[in-house]
Amino acid sequence: MPIRVTGLNSGMDTEAIINQLASARSVKIQSIKNDQTKLSWKVDIWKSLNTEIYDLYKKLGNLRLEGTYAKKTTTVSNSNAVSVLTGSTAVNGTQYMTVDSLAQAGYLTGTRISAASTDAEGNPTETAATSTTKLSALTGMSTVTAEDLGASSITLTVGGKKVDLDLNADSTIDNVLSQLKSAGLNASFDSNNQRFFISSKNSGADNEFSITAEAGKDGEKLLKSLGIYYTQEGELENATDTRPDGYTYATKIMAKDASITLNGETFTSNSNVFDINGLTITVNEVAMDPITVTTAQDTSGIYDMIKDFLKQYNTLVNKMDTLYNADAAKGYNPLSDDEKAEMSDSEIEKWETKIKDSLLRKDSTLSSVATALKSIMAAGVEMTDEEGNTTTKYLSNFGVHTLSYFIAADNEKYAYHIDGDADDSDTSANTDKLKAAITKNPDEVVSFFTKLSSNLYEKLGNLMSSSDYSSAYTVYNNKQMATQLTDYDSKIEKEEDKMNDFLDRWYDKFAQMETALAKLNSVQSSVSSFFGTGY
- Torsion angle of alpha carbons 504, 507, 513, 517, nearest 10°? -140
Given a cut of 50, whether residue 358 has pLDDT beyond it is yes
Q: Is residue 231 part of a domain?
A: yes
Q: Are residues 241 and 261 in the same domain?
A: no
Q: Are 88 and 119 part of one and the same domain?
A: no
Q: Are 171 and 132 in contact (CB under 8 A)?
A: no
CB burial of 70-104 (b: ≥16 within 10 Å; e: otherwise) equals bbbbbebbbeebbebebeeebeeeebebbbbebbb
Q: Which helix (H) or strand (E) holds 72?
A: strand 72-76
Say whether pLDDT at 367 is over 50: yes
79 and 159 in a single domain? The answer is no
Residue 198 is assigned to a structural domain of this protein:
yes
pLDDT at 234: 38
H or E stretch covering 262: strand 258-262
Residue 2's pLDDT is what?
Answer: 53
CA pair distance 121, 364, nearest whole angstrom: 104
Q: CA–CA separation, 142 vs 161, rounded Å?
A: 32
What residues does 262 pair with on adjacent strands?
97, 265
| pLDDT tens digits along 249-306 | 899 999 999 999 999 999 999 999 999 999 999 999 999 999 999 998 888 889 999 9
Distance CA 526, CA 396 (A): 103
Which of 253, 280, 306 is the endpoint of a domain?
253
Task: Judge whether 438 and 432 are in contact, CB under 8 Å.
Answer: no
Query: Considering the domain boundaries, does residue 213 fall inside one?
Result: yes
Residue (of 305, 299, 355) closest to 326 by Cα position = 355
Torsion angle, CA of 205/209/214/219, rounded to 10 degrees?
A: -170
Do residues 284 and 169 both lie within one domain? no
Classify residue 12: in a domain, yes or no. no
- Do 249 and 111 belong to one domain? yes
For the stretch 91-104, pLDDT in tens is 999 999 999 999 99
- Does residue 14 lie in a domain region? no
The tens digit of pLDDT for each residue in 162-190 reads 998 888 888 999 999 999 999 999 999 99
Is residue 124 located within the same domain as residue 246?
A: yes
C-alpha to C-alpha distance for 513 and 316, rounded to whole angstroms: 66
Task: Quote the distance between the C-alpha of residue 294 and its chain's center.
Answer: 33
The two beta strands, 416-418 and 195-200, are unpaired
Q: Are residues 222 and 202 in the same domain?
A: yes
Task: Give the whole-angstrom CA distance, residue 187 versus residue 193.
Answer: 15
- Residue, of 140 and 269, whose pLDDT is higher: 269
Is the same domain home to 99 and 185? no
Q: What is the mean pLDDT of residues 354-373?
A: 96
Alpha carbon separation from 343 to 267, 346, 352 (Å, rounded):
76, 8, 12
> Among 253, 277, 310, where does a domain finish?
253
Could you give the percent of the chain with pLDDT greater than 90?
A: 64
Asked if residue 64 lies in contact with residue 230, where contact means CB atoms within 8 angstroms, the answer is no
Q: In the prediction, which pLDDT does 1 show?
A: 47
Given a cut of 80, is residue 521 above it in pLDDT? no
Residue 23 has pLDDT above 70, yes or no: no
> How many domains, in total, are found in the chain?
3
Residue range 33-51: average pLDDT? 93
Q: What does the pLDDT average to over 452-469?
A: 95
Question: Which of 151-160, 275-284, 346-355, 507-516 bottoms out in mean pLDDT, i.e. has the lowest?
Answer: 507-516
- Dihedral of the CA atoms 475, 480, 482, 485 (nearest 10)? -130
Distances (CA, A) of 388 to 123, 213, 279, 449: 102, 78, 35, 19
pLDDT reading at 134 higher than 70: yes
State if pTM tops 0.85: no
Mean predicted confidence (pLDDT) in 147-168: 80
pLDDT averaged over every residue in the chain = 87
Does 3 have pLDDT greater than 50?
Answer: no
Of 138-147, 259-268, 291-300, 506-515, highest mean pLDDT: 259-268
Residue 11 has pLDDT above 60, yes or no: no
367 in any annotated domain: no
Residues 205 and 146 in one domain: yes
Within this chain, do residues 99 and 148 fall inside the same structural domain, yes or no?
no
Highest mean pLDDT among 147-151, 249-253, 286-290, 331-335: 286-290
- Domain co-membership, 111 together with 249: yes
Determine the Cα–Cα distance for residues 487 and 479; give it in Å rounded to an integer. 12
Looking at the domain assignment, is residue 510 inside a domain?
A: no
Quickly state the pLDDT bin for 65 (edges 50, 70, 90): very high
Question: What was the pLDDT predicted at 128?
Answer: 93
pLDDT digits (tens, 9 = 90+) for 413-451: 999 999 999 999 999 999 999 999 998 998 899 999 999
CA distance 451 to 381: 7
The pLDDT confidence band at residue 123, using thresholds 50, 70 and 90, is confident
Q: What is the pLDDT at residue 535?
A: 43
Position 138 in a domain? yes
Q: Which domain holds residue 243?
A: 107-253
Question: How far, rounded to the nearest angstrom, does the alpha carbon of residue 427 sit from its chain's CA centroid?
Answer: 34
The more confident residue out of 533 and 313 is 313
* pLDDT score recorded for residue 239: 46
Report the pLDDT averaged over residues 182-203: 96
Task: Based on the fold, state whether residues 210 and 185 are members of the same structural domain.
Answer: yes
194 in Cβ contact with 106 (< 8 Å): no
In one letter, which amino acid is 56?
L
What is the torsional sign of CA 135, 137, 143, 146?
positive
